[in-house]
């Protein structure tokens, strides 16, 4: 069964220096969907990642199976989440994306 549009939970605000968890989930797909988070159009690597030339100033832990992304909030990180998207896919049908979520730090 193809995945449905995922529901993403992104806090509307967070204090600088706090840990924030973002999540994305859809329940209709079979087999279960995996999730891919993007920053500025670039896919984030699974597990733990740090900044690079294309994704600077971000340290995070991502789990593709659970759809979670955990990061420490900084003023530079907030810019990365503005316009961020998450896609769900399970190899059946087309990948689905959640709507853009914004978070203020």
SS3 label, residue 80: helix
| Mean pLDDT on 65-73 | 80
Alpha helices in the chain (DSSP H): 75-81
Rg (CA), the chain: 13
Domain borders along the chain are 7-90
Cα of first residue to Cα of last residue in the chain, in angstroms, is 38
Band of pLDDT at residue 80, cut at 50, 70 and 90: very low
Share of the chain above pLDDT 70, in %: 70
**What is the rounded average pLDDT of the residues 64-87?**
65
Residue 55 has pLDDT above 70, yes or no: no
Please tell me which residue, 92 or 49, carries the higher pLDDT value: 92
Q: What is the pLDDT of residues 2-27, one digit of tens each?
A: 888 888 888 887 777 788 888 888 88
Report whether CATH 2.60.40.10 matches the domain 7-90.
Answer: yes
């Amino acid at each position: 069964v193809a995945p449905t549009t995922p529901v993403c939970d992104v806090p509307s605000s967070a204090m600088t220096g706090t840990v924030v968890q973002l999540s994305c989930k859809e329940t209709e797909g079979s087999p279960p969907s995996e999730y891919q988070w993007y920053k500025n159009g670039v896919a984030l690597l699974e597990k733990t990642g740090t900044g690079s030339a294309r994704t600077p100033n971000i340290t995070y832990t991502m789990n593709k199976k659970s759809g979670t992304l955990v990061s420490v909030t900084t003023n530079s990180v907030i810019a990365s989440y503005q316009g961020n998207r998450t896609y769900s896919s399970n190899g059946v049908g087309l990948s689905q994306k959640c709507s853009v979520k914004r978070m203020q730090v």
